[in-house]
Structure 1
Amino acid sequence: MKITVIGTGYVGLVSGTCLAEMGNEVLCLDLDQRKIAILNQGELPIHEPGLLDMVRRNVAAGRLRFTTSVEDSVAFGQLQFIAVGTPPDEDGSADLQYVLAAARNIGRHMTEYKVVIDKSTVPVGTADKVRAAIAEELAKRELALPYSVVSNPEFLKEGAAVEDFMRPDRVVVGADDERGIALMRELYAPFIRNHDRVIVMDVRSAELTKYAANAMLATRISFMNELANLADKLGADIEQVRVGIGSDPRIGFHFLYPGCGYGG
């Protein structure tokens, strides 16, 4: 399949490279000329174990390329992944200007059916805004081209992102039309040969799933840190407490460690 990935940050670069590793043709777009220059020199602007060798292997095989040309990127892939940053605004809300700019560029230059895939962590309702931005640009061009908007949130752990992408425990696909769903199933089929781990749902549910997963993990970490503080005051051993509660299968041991907190 021919795939465009918009954004060569952590999520975009890992996603694009892993998709190329499975035999897809991938073109990664970034407007930061410095980043693209680094990538075209065979180096990485980020560090992730195993990623550099995979990038170099797929570039050498001709499956992975990098560009700063918006026109080329829109023309290239039937699947257009949006994996740009969503930095917090002054009030703490996600700044969607880069997501919507990417959507507008797709609407501005597309000439045939596209699947536009939100990979960035975005608030519920973002897919509606992406759909509207594309429709607005098409209307300006007096065109009525078909397209699908899909939510496909990432669940990558820093330090294990390549492994997480290549062997996912689940692939969440939020979509409202069968054509988009079928293409997403085809895309992820090589990653889930032994078990069907694609979970199809409506777009808003997929967007909320990402936030819900983040909140749940943050809650577990925060709760263990509070328990660790309490254990210090009471003279208890938090490690023994952790074993005691984690042995309950309803709780489990994952993300049940006190530590320095969380980020992302």
Structure 2
Amino acid sequence: MSGVKVGVVGAGYVGLTTAVCLAERGLDTACVDLDAAKVDRLNAGDPVIDEPGLPLLLRSGLAARKLCFDTDYAALADCDVVFVCVPTPSGADGAADLRAVESAVDTLGRVLTAPAVVALKSTVPVGTTRRMAARLRDRGLSVASIPEFLRESHAIYDFRNPDRVVIGSETPRAAALLRQVYGVGSQRTFEMSPESAELAKYASNAFLAVKLSYANSLARLCAHAGADIADVTRCMGADVRIGGHFLQPGPGWGGSCLPKDTAALLHAGRDAGVDLPEVAAARTTNDVQAERIASTLQRLLPDALPDARITALGLTFKANTTDVRDSPALRVCGGLTAAGAQVSGYDPRLGSIDPATLHRCGVVGVDDPYVATKGANAIVVLTEWSQFRDLDWPSIAEQAPGAVVLDTRNLLSRDAIAGTGLRYLGNGTVGGY
């Protein structure tokens, strides 16, 4: 790796993880982000995002002078390869908004020198890599697709231990350089055309969304049939053709990837005249999860849902992160407040959540779970924080006598609730919802 210099555009979850992990491998790494305040914080060793292991790698990279952050693309001028990790949000029609990608590529075209490689880690529609390559061809630069498969709260581990590295390139030199930078064996490297790499990312995320929605539909059936979703999915997951991942029911799926990627895949299908009814159905199922929870509470509460006091336990889209982008927990809260309920919300990372985000959902943030649940008519577990298992549920019952506990994640032990006077309902369980 001697002499190879790498760059990263974008210091979000993907870009920042990529930068610190490449620096850990001994590569001289420069990361550019247009947010000057963020760049200053990163250069001071403040990781800006909550990701296990990231603070140590950030500070180690800075101390070793293997890592630096800048707002000026000129910092990337002598890079051999630059990873583009900028957002591609959904437009109104579901299409991916590529303005940030196009701007980054055009700017890199003015800064880099041949034969540098521009590697697109941003999730982009089929054909984007080839179009970006055409924009840079006269500069002697190559463009490759190298989609990311990092999980928030596990991003450092996933980068160090990838189950696959996908390289979409028609330039052998670019593919060889990317293999060298990643340093993984051939058994975990999948080389293919840019179009196949681009579609592989969308296809993977859409399949996960389909599995999650299927699990939620099964949970609803289990509750009606007197079956237990945990037993059903345990049996399913034992089949190696299915696997046990992404079969846990919940309040719906969200985050920064699945919603926009399924929308973009459907848009691509429409453009190609190809229907993807499985993906469309998964989105439809996901859209009704908040209403399923609201209607269950409407049925269970002794008084009408309007004016009911409801506590939401968990506000982030998943545990061990501060990310509330497209959070199903907040989607549920928004539906409850729209129905007239008074919603208080507690999350272990409440201090890192923008109060304006909670305000838009009508949620009053409370930094103590016992204060948040006091006087509640219903307590809804929305995010799978392990801390919720360890709450003193008898004490909660004293402060919220007779409250309904709706466990959308099946996180709690029914035995811990039994005998407290609280009414427990699991998701897709016997006697649940």
- The answer to whether the superposition gives a TM-score over 0.5 is yes
The one-letter amino acid of 1:99's match is V
CA distance in 2, matches of 1:8, 1:175: 24
Query: What CA deviation, in whole Å up to 9, does each residue of 1:186-227 have, x standing for no partner?
Result: 1122xx35x631110011000000000001111111100110
Three-state SS of the structure 1 residue aligned to 2:139 is coil
Query: What CA deviation, in whole Å up to 9, does each residue of 1:141-185 have, x standing for no partner?
Result: xxx432211100000111100000001010000000111111111
Residue 108 (structure 1) shift:
1.6
Three-state SS of the structure 1 residue aligned to 2:245 is coil
CA distance in 2, matches of 1:84, 1:180: 20
TM-score (norm. length: structure 1): 0.92
Find 2:96's aligned residue among 94, 97, 110.
94
- Work out whether residues 108 and 134 of structure 1, in 8 Å CA contact, stay in contact via their aligned partners in 2: no
Query: What CA deviation, in whole Å up to 9, does each residue of 1:205-263 have, x standing for no partner?
Result: 00000000001111111100110011111111111111222222211212221123222
Residue 29 (structure 1) shift:
0.2
Residue 18 (structure 1) shift:
0.6
CA distance in 1, matches of 2:240, 2:11: 39
Identical residues among aligned pairs (%): 46
CA distance in 2, matches of 1:210, 1:187: 20
Q: Residue in 2 aligned with 1:130?
A: 132
Match status 1:8 vs 2:8: no
> More relative contact order in 1 or in 2 (CA 8 Å, sep 6+)?
1
Indicate the larger mover: 15-24 or 249-258.
Answer: 249-258
CA distance in 2, matches of 1:197, 1:163: 15
The one-letter amino acid of 1:118's match is L
Matches within 5 A, 1:45-84: 45-73=48-76, 75-84=77-86
Q: Which runs of 5+ in 1 are unaligned?
A: 136-143
Residue 132 to residue 248, structure 1, CA distance change in 2 (3 Å) = same
Kindly tell me the number of residue pairs found equivalent between the two proteins.
Answer: 252
CA RMSD, 1 decimal: 1.3
Q: Residue in 2 aligned with 1:202?
A: 193
Find 1:150's aligned residue among 138, 141, 144.
144
Indicate the larger mover: 252-261 or 39-48.
Answer: 252-261
Q: Residue in 1 aligned with 2:171?
A: 177
Matches within 5 A, 1:112-261: 112-135=114-137, 144-189=138-183, 192=184, 196-261=187-252
- Work out whether residues 109 and 139 of structure 2, in 8 Å CA contact, stay in contact via their aligned partners in 1: no
The one-letter amino acid of 1:110's match is L
The one-letter amino acid of 1:59's match is L
CA distance in 1, matches of 2:113, 2:244: 50
CA distance in 2, matches of 1:78, 1:146: 12
Three-state SS of the structure 2 residue aligned to 1:66 is strand
CA distance in 1, matches of 2:134, 2:142: 12
CA distance in 2, matches of 1:77, 1:260: 44
Match status 1:27 vs 2:30: yes
- Work out whether residues 27 and 76 of structure 1, in 8 Å CA contact, stay in contact via their aligned partners in 2: no
The structure with the larger Rg is: 2
Residue 77 (structure 1) shift:
1.1
Q: Residue in 1 aligned with 2:110?
A: 108
* Structure 1 segments (4+ residues) deviating >3 Å: none
Residue 110 (structure 1) shift:
2.4
Residue 87 (structure 1) shift:
1.3
Query: What CA deviation, in whole Å up to 9, does each residue of 1:78-124 have, x standing for no partner?
Result: 10110011111122211100100011001122233110100011111
